[in-house]
Chain A
Amino acid sequence: MPDNRTVSLTNNYNGKLSGWSRFWTGFKKNWYHYSRNKLSVVGLAIVLLVILLAIFAPLVTPYPAHAGPYVDYPNAGQPPSAKFWLGTDPIGRDIFTRIIFSFRGALLMSMLVLAIAVPPGLILGLLAGYYNGTIIDTIIMRITDIFLSVPPLVLALAIAAVLKPNLINAMIAVTVMWWPWYTRLVYGMASSVRNDYFVIAAELNGASRFYILFREILPNCLSPVFTKMALDVGWVILIGASLSFVGLGEQPPTPALGQMVSDGARYMPELWWMTIFPALAIVFVILGFNLMGDGIRDMLSASR
């Protein structure tokens, strides 16, 4: 059934529009698909909120100093009140402030991990898919299998444990176990696209390997990769929280969500807010990225 709106946009106007106008039209079309599901919009709102809070943390929190070395024993263990919205922790720091500041580490970790892990994973997947059936394929995929033979969290814990506990090492640990998922994802698509006619045509025309890989095959693999990246931000935050729960990752006094949950657990149930609020914050953030990721997937599959 011809969709008149789509036909006119793509057939009649694309060639005549400038780059930015084309971008805007494409954006509006994608937004239409994305916003069909109200929950995805909620997810996007949550994600944007978290990012903004993280960036402007010192400005939006009532007690920015509490995110650093700070003690205030007289105020320790206060329940939620007008003064301390989510209560205080065992040494008197405002939990609300610390939660907002912990978003910084979480987001930084996710973005850096993905920025470092995805490109090599992608490239290896492309290569393995392109050289499908050869020894290059076998070697790459066996190595991928090796890294995937252990549950992700286990490997991350092991690596983070033998290194000194800090944020950088936690990131290294997660990056090392994250790339194979992208290799596998891209490998599946690249190896099937690899035999499509347009690739063979390019090869026959003498196009360089580089060109074929990046200009012909890669664009066809990108949608699931983007969807996965959006969802993965949430998962990396989850793993990061799991690591900091056992003390690996951000070290005190810098706040980290998992660490706050674990610190507060000792004081349950009387001082329940010390655990519950950081726990809810974790759920909130991950939920936001999950909803957004679903929305991106629906959007990308609808505009095919």
Chain B
Amino acid sequence: MRFGLYILRRLLLSIVVLLGLSIIIFVIARVVPGDPARLSLGPRAPQDVVDALRKELHMDRPLPEQYWIWLTNALQGDLGKSLVSKRPVIQDVAQYLPATLELVFFAAIFMIFFAILLGTLAARYKDTWVDGMIRTLSYFGVSIPAFVVAILFILLFGYFWPILPVLSRASPSFSIPTITGFKVLDSLIAGNIPAVWDAFKHLILPVVALALGGTFQEARITRSGIVDNANKDFISAERGYGISERTIWFRFLLKPSLIPTVSVMGLDIAATIGNAFLVELIFNWPGLSRYGINAMLQKDLNSISGVVLIIGIVFILTNILVDIIVAFLDPRIRLGGVRGK
């Protein structure tokens, strides 16, 4: 029950944070660029057209009122119209968001799985060549920006070794009805197994490009978590009672060591979402980030604010989710030292 209250508090706090974020977004989109109306119409538009647009965008009202109008609209789902696609922003978001979510989701899975694998190997074979190799790889892995990996992948798999597709989400030969927007899921629902595999293949390269840095960083944290815990008394005690090495490694040692790793996941997912802006562009992945970066480059202010807002919401929710998982793993957080009955 205590934990339920903790979640509720987080959610309420998030609303406050989102409100603050909305103010910042509003400032960025409306106040900073000077004259948004002029900006969107271009330097050659006649002044009266610009003025008409200003009136339409409520720019003649005082700023707080403008903010209020914008906010109330946003809460009802109206994020304005995109200057580029000429459609309501919310529609664009709905179309492109699932693709990005799919990427981030699979990137997170990749990160956790391989981080645990590499970290455990490095700890198990501490100070041997395995450990040294993983450590060296980690240094490089963490230092290569995602967009560089993406470019290298395009070079490698696009030209020299075309075993994996480098563009889009699926081959045009498959047409799957869009239900959830997640190609893998939709293909599963449609029962089209080759399509599932095809969607998967398209995911591999962008997901790996996004996840690489985070994977290695978390691998190192996992390793140091295991190494720290391996010398603790409770592990010696368990060994002293005859509990098998296997059980110790896969159960009693692993669980406490994963906690710092999962705690860092939030940050790594942030990095993933950020990097997606470039990686989606490179792979021509039709996701929200590619839409966003294009909006930014074309100064499509409504789209920019919509995208940043949505990403803010997604990220805050993801953080809460990560915190829930950490609390699930670590009873010390859940129970906060409450005694006995």
Contacts and interface: CB of A to CB of B under 8 A. Distances in A.
B145 A241 contact: yes
A283 B299 CA distance: 30
A145 interface: yes
Interface in A118-147: 142-143, 145-147
A147 to B, nearest CB: 7
Binding site of A, secondary structure by majority: helix, strand, loop or mixed?
Answer: helix
Contacts of A161: 296-297, 299, 304
Interface stretch (A3-11, A64-72, A79-87, A152-160): A152-160
A247 B292 CA distance: 15
Contacts of A275: 151, 155
Nearest to B213: A238
B275 interface: yes
B18 interface: yes
A161 B28 CA distance: 10
A203 B217 CA distance: 41
Interface residues of B, number: 48
B143 A151 contact: no
Contacts of A142: 13, 16-17, 20
Interface in B255-293: 270-271, 273-275, 277-278, 281-282, 292-293
Contacts of B277: 153-154, 157, 242, 246
Interface stretch (B172-180, B225-233, B234-242, B310-318): B310-318
A63 interface: no
Interface in A254-297: 258, 261, 265, 268-269, 272, 275-276, 279, 282-283, 286-287, 290-291
A39 interface: yes
Contact of B147 (A146, A147, A149, A245): A245
A163 B301 CA distance: 12
Most chain A beta carbons < 10 A, residue from B144, B160, B274: B274
Contacts of B20: 142-143, 145-146
B139 A150 contact: no
A59 interface: no
Given A39-B139, A157-B277, A246-B293, A151 B315 contact: yes
Contact of B145 (A146, A268, A286, A290): A286
Interface of A: 39, 142-143, 145-147, 149-155, 157-159, 161-163, 234, 238, 241-242, 245-247, 258, 261, 265, 268-269, 272, 275-276, 279, 282-283, 286-287, 290-291
16 contacts: A146-B20, A151-B273, A154-B273, A158-B28, A161-B296, A161-B299, A261-B147, A265-B151, A265-B154, A268-B155, A269-B155, A276-B152, A282-B145, A283-B144, A286-B143, A287-B139
